[in-house]
């Protein structure tokens, strides 16, 4: 099995930036999540931003290309095209990924796969560090129900995945191709079946994680739902071999309470929305009082250097009640890591 690392913080591999942060110096994100489009061709019942209703906005080509220059200026190492909608609804996502490859910045893509056609794969697969498909059921009828689409889209996505896998193998590309399932009421009983399908498709890994509810959404999942799937989790893990890995996000399913009381990870991870707005995380999407600024008005460096952005980060870290936040957000593991550095245990030299 390959050494995938989906749980825990990778800040351990960016210690110079962490050391600057510990000294109180200005640091910039290691990773940025970008929403090229707020629109989506699906209406998934578990969508994190369902409350936004996917009103279509797209980042302009000019801005998307300039963002790569912004990343180079402040030292952003990676970005993920995901966020509010389906990234490939914005055709300039291809241009952005190609420019990022030339600039030596790692780019990744999460997609429902319908628009990740052979034509798009041929243009962009070699520019990706990884790509992940959202497949919530291996059964076309249930797939259509969960994703809010037609059964025919299931067949389209399957063929698109097969093509991407073929291109990767034929060209010996380093890109990692994965399939992700989020455990919900409608699919807890098809985990093993989904994992088997992923292996048959030839992707590199299959992963399953817990559902995390946004406060503005109504759809929810019982906290203990995962217990019904544990036997399937264990059987699915047995499918792992030298070319395919099943990753059960056990750390999430254990449902352990947050060991920290402050969100300290904001300087290291940032979100850019389809309107150009820069935000701390998905908890605050479209809440203008939490917007750092807008990239149509200023560069990323100018936005993050502003007193306004620093004031927002300070407010969230010192005064915002993180109990109101989504469980297992993108900053969760980073917060655990940083909290351990700030609140050091006794006798740290006794390793």
The per-residue pLDDT for 325 is 82
The per-residue pLDDT for 120 is 98
> Which of 156, 256, 145 is CA-nearest to residue 190?
145
Pairing mode of beta strands 31-34, 269-272? parallel
Confidence of residue 283 (pLDDT cuts 50, 70, 90): confident
Q: What is the pLDDT of residues 287-341, one digit of tens each?
A: 889 999 999 999 999 999 999 999 999 999 999 988 888 777 888 889 999 999 9
The per-residue pLDDT for 188 is 96
Starting at the edge strand found earlier in the chain, the sheet holding 277-279 runs 245-248, 205-210, 176-183, 130-134, 106-111, 78-81, 31-34, 269-272, 277-279, 293-294
The per-residue pLDDT for 22 is 95
Q: What is the pLDDT of residues 163-181, one digit of tens each?
A: 999 999 999 999 999 999 9
- When pLDDT is averaged across residues 214-222 and rounded to a whole number, the result is 87
Q: State pTM to two decimals.
A: 0.94
Give the DSSP H or E segment for 130: strand 130-134
Pairing mode of beta strands 31-34, 106-111? unpaired
Confidence of residue 48 (pLDDT cuts 50, 70, 90): confident
Which of 131-135, 190-194, 336-340 has the lowest average pLDDT?
336-340
Residue 228 phi, psi dihedral angles, 5° rounding = -70, -20
The per-residue pLDDT for 99 is 98
The per-residue pLDDT for 329 is 80
CA torsion angle 39 45 51 53 (round to 10): 30
Which of 67-71, 79-83, 94-98 has the lowest average pLDDT?
79-83
Q: 3-class SS at 62?
A: helix
The per-residue pLDDT for 81 is 98
The per-residue pLDDT for 212 is 84
The per-residue pLDDT for 256 is 64
Query: How many Å apart are CA 335 and CA 340, to the nearest integer?
Result: 8
Mean pLDDT, the chain, integer: 94
């Amino acid at each position: 099995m390959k050494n995938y690392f989906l749980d825990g913080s990778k800040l351990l591999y960016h210690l110079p930036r962490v050391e600057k942060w510990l000294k109180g110096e200005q640091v910039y994100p290691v990773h940025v999540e970008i929403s090229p489009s707020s629109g989506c061709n699906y209406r998934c019942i578990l969508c994190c931003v369902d409350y936004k209703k996917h009103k279509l906005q797209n980042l302009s080509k000019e801005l998307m290309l300039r963002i790569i220059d912004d990343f180079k200026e402040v030292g952003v190492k990676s970005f993920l095209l995901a966020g509010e909608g389906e990234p490939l609804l914005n055709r300039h996502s291809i241009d952005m990924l190609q420019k990022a490859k030339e600039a030596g910045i790692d780019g990744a893509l999460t997609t429902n796969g319908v628009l990740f056609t052979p034509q798009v794969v041929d243009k962009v697969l070699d520019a990706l560090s990884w790509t992940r498909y959202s497949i919530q059921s291996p059964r076309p009828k249930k797939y259509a129900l969960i994703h809010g689409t037609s059964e025919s889209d299931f067949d389209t996505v399957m063929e698109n995945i097969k093509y991407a896998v073929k291109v990767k193998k034929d060209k010996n590309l380093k890109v990692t191709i994965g399939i992700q399932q989020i455990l919900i009421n409608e699919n807890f009983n098809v985990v093993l079946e989904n994992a088997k399908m992923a292996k048959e498709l030839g992707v590199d890994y299959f992963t399953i994680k817990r559902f995390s509810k946004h406060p503005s959404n109504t759809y929810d999942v019982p906290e203990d739902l995962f217990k019904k799937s544990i036997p399937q989790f264990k059987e699915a893990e047995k499918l792992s071999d030298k070319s395919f890995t099943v990753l059960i996000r056990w750390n999430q399913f254990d449902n352990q309470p947050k060991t920290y009381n402050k969100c300290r990870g904001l300087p290291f991870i940032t979100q850019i929305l389809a309107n150009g707005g820069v935000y701390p995380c998905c908890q605050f999407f479209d809440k203008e009082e939490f917007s750092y600024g807008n990239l149509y008005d200023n560069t990323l460096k100018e936005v993050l250097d502003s007193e306004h952005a620093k004031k927002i980060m300070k407010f969230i870290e010192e005064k915002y009640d993180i109990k109101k936040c989504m469980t297992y957000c993108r900053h969760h593991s980073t917060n655990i890591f940083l909290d351990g550095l700030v609140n050091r245990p006794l006798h740290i030299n006794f390793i």
